[in-house]
A = this chain, B = another copy of it.
Amino acid sequence: MTAPQFTRGPAMRDVASAAGVSAQTVSRVLNEHPNVQESTRRRVLAAVEELGYRRNNTARALVTGQSKTIGVLTLATNNYSRSSLALGVELGAREAGYTVNSVTSSLSAQALTDAVSRLVHQGVDGIIIAAPLQEAAEQVSKITSRIPTVNTDGSSSMGDRMVGVDQDIAAVLATKHLLDLGHKTVWHVAGPVEWSDAASRLGSWRRTLQEAGCEVPPELHGDWSPESGYRNGLILGRMPEVTAILVASDEMAFGVIRALTELGRRIPEDISVVGIDDIDLAAFSNPPLTTIRQSFEDTGRRAVQRLVAQIANPALENTPDLVAPTLIVRGSTAPPPADN
């Protein structure tokens, strides 16, 4: 039962014989080696054109050991940060002449390890990890020790192979903004603690309050989803003393705002809400969301640049590459109610 095959195109040797040269010479022309006579170069290129020849990257990868492909590991959830980072990686890769191989994983150590292993196995030249590794960290770094790796979720175990946005500053900016407006303290809907992004936002929020001499309320936890924000909003909205909330992601902030609105709390008159991420929709929520802008797309790009540099020179020294986020003030924040 031979399935009808999609025929392969011409190979280098076909071009070679068409141009009356050796395959090696064709290879040299295609790789722009200097020592090729102009006349033969033209002859080869003409043959390439005529036969519609395209170099087979698989064969090339086999012999050179470089696939010109980078692997990206993300979690199998569809949130803004994931998708815009992925986009940034793809754009960055294209600019650098690389192709992207993406795999998703669940949060379990086994799944994460498998996913990375799948990438390595697939022959990628380097890996970008955009997921919290957790207990999988040790296993994973065993696999990635042989291959350049960049991490965008500053899991401690990845040491300094880290590219991203400074999460400490993000939460500090947001918290200070609310305190500056006159709020006595700021409540916090945190992300999943497994994510180091969420963890450091939580830490900086707490530290900022302490340094300002404010009471530190107990934090609530969500899972990045709007639903989880909604649930937490239903709780916070029932507490009269809550006047300011820092939500660890814009998507959760949408849920929080919805819940507060349903409970009859006005935003920002009764309660101020700040998100983090500045997703595309943040400017168009009702009210528009004050948030912390951090470009995931840019992070993806920088991660690729770092990775490519590391592929070119594995001895390259690794230093964390963190970018500062900025505060975007919109309509969801205001001074606390007067009678408070």
A binding-site residues for B, Cβ under 8 Å: 1, 3-9, 54-59, 61-62, 65, 67, 69, 76-80, 82-84, 86-87, 90-91, 94, 99-104, 117-118, 120-123, 146-148, 225-227, 229-230, 251, 254-255, 257-258, 261, 280-281, 283-286, 288, 297, 312-315
Contacts and interface: CB of A to CB of B under 8 A. Distances in A.
Contact of A284 (B4, B55, B58, B226): B226
Given A84-B78, A102-B102, A280-B225, A123 B6 contact: no
In this complex, which of A100, A118, A227 has the most chain B Cβ atoms within 10 angstroms of its Cβ?
Answer: A100
B99 A76 contact: no
A284 to B, nearest CB: 4
16 contacts: A1-B315, A58-B58, A58-B62, A62-B62, A69-B101, A76-B91, A78-B83, A78-B84, A78-B87, A90-B102, A94-B103, A94-B104, A99-B122, A229-B284, A255-B284, A258-B286
Contacts of A91: 76, 104
Nearest to A82: B83
A114 to B, nearest CB: 10
A6 B143 CA distance: 12
A63 B91 CA distance: 31
Nearest to A83: B83
Residue of A4, A87, A229 with most partner-chain B CB within 10 A: A87
A76 B67 contact: no
A112 to B, nearest CB: 13
B3 A312 contact: yes
A251 to B, nearest CB: 7
Contacts of A226: 280-281, 283-284
Contacts of A251: 280-281
A133 to B, nearest CB: 19
A297 B83 CA distance: 13
Contact of A121 (B55, B65, B82): B55
A120 B57 CA distance: 10
Contacts of A80: 78
Contacts of A61: 58
B297 A123 contact: no
Given A6-B146, A258-B285, A123 B230 contact: no
Given A5-B314, A76-B91, 6 more contacts: A54-B120, A57-B121, A79-B280, A100-B101, A230-B284, A258-B284
B94 A146 contact: no
B8 A65 contact: yes
Contacts of A281: 226, 251, 254, 281
Given A57-B122, A62-B58, A286 B315 contact: no
A102 B100 contact: yes
A57 B255 CA distance: 44
Nearest to A279: B281
A258 B58 CA distance: 50
A56 B121 contact: yes
B103 A99 contact: yes
A226 B61 CA distance: 42
Contacts of A288: 258
A303 B254 CA distance: 32
